[in-house]
Structure 1
Amino acid sequence: MKLREGEVLVQEIRHTKEIPFRLEDLFTIPIFTINFIILIILLKPSEDSEINNHKELYYYIIVPILISFYLFLTIGRISIRLFKTKSTKFFLTNQRIIFRDLNSEIINESFKLENLILNYKEKANDSGYIIIKKQEEIAKSEETSFISQRGINFFEEKNVIYNIANVKSVFNLIIATKNELTKNK
């Protein structure tokens, strides 16, 4: 991996091989399950229906679409996180955070530390994940950007480092590196 001029590798951010569950999964999976059951019941054709096309439409098109949508929103989200965790390496340098593909030396994305808003979530076993957001150009402060996003997130954030062991110490290291970078400028 080639680094920029004046850039120094601070640490490779190591992650565990666990399945990357999130706290939101405890809420979203039951919510999607209840919605799925209600939709199946509401869309079911009545028994006295004389039109066979409606029943065929229900059993061959509507139910498979609902099942695939349900599986994607529950198990698919966890599978995407697991794939991303197993196929990506994360590095912290003195200037940026780098996401690198395991199969090649291609850098998928890199984030300049000075333009980032970071947050982390910690599980009971000191592992967790770090959410990386780019600072928007519109006049928003760091406090208001995360306040407006509280609650259950039904969809995945784009730039997340999952399954980090000792997530709080890694987060503090990233913040210290970011503060040192901005102090030197």
Structure 2
Amino acid sequence: MTGEIFAWIVDYKSPFTSTHSIGVAEDAEKLSRFMGFDEETSQKMYLAGALHDIGKVAIGNEIIEKPGRLTEDEFAVMKHHAAYTYYILNEIDDFDEMRDWAAFHHERLDGTGYPFGKKAEELNTQERIMACVDIYQALTESRPYKKGMSYKKACEILEDMAGKGWLDTEITVQVDACFGSMENRNSKEEN
């Protein structure tokens, strides 16, 4: 419940990201279960997903709510949110594992991500899952200035990013399998 409260605060800060943190939390939990992680790990992934953007509370609304493309300077400021997430969650005792899962959602396997430029050997499975789920959720959710993509198109983009060495290929395959099975189930229920 605490994670949901913080996610609500982050999402409330901007109508453009409304429900994003809870969507990431739910997707992280579903994918963790799908990949065979135990209940405790799946619940921790939910909490890390709910808190992954808590650092956005330190970013001005003029940047967070900008409906168009950010300038280079604005994007440089926005990128700090992941580091802020790290520093905020670092203040919670015994939270190191979930802090990293949450804060490293913009890291890339080739070291070109942020906030710390970590490489593949420095990123564990949960951190890699969070990176994929954050992108998947952002692509598939509708925002006031864009319609959400289909699950299939989002998975194609994840696959392309994995091909560039940014995301874990095996996890993108798992995203496709997990959310594809849900997509098929939902379309059957509608018919």
TM score, norm. by length of structure 2? 0.29
Which structure is higher in helix share?
Answer: 2
Structure with the bigger percentage of strand: 1
User: Which has the larger Rg?
Assistant: 1
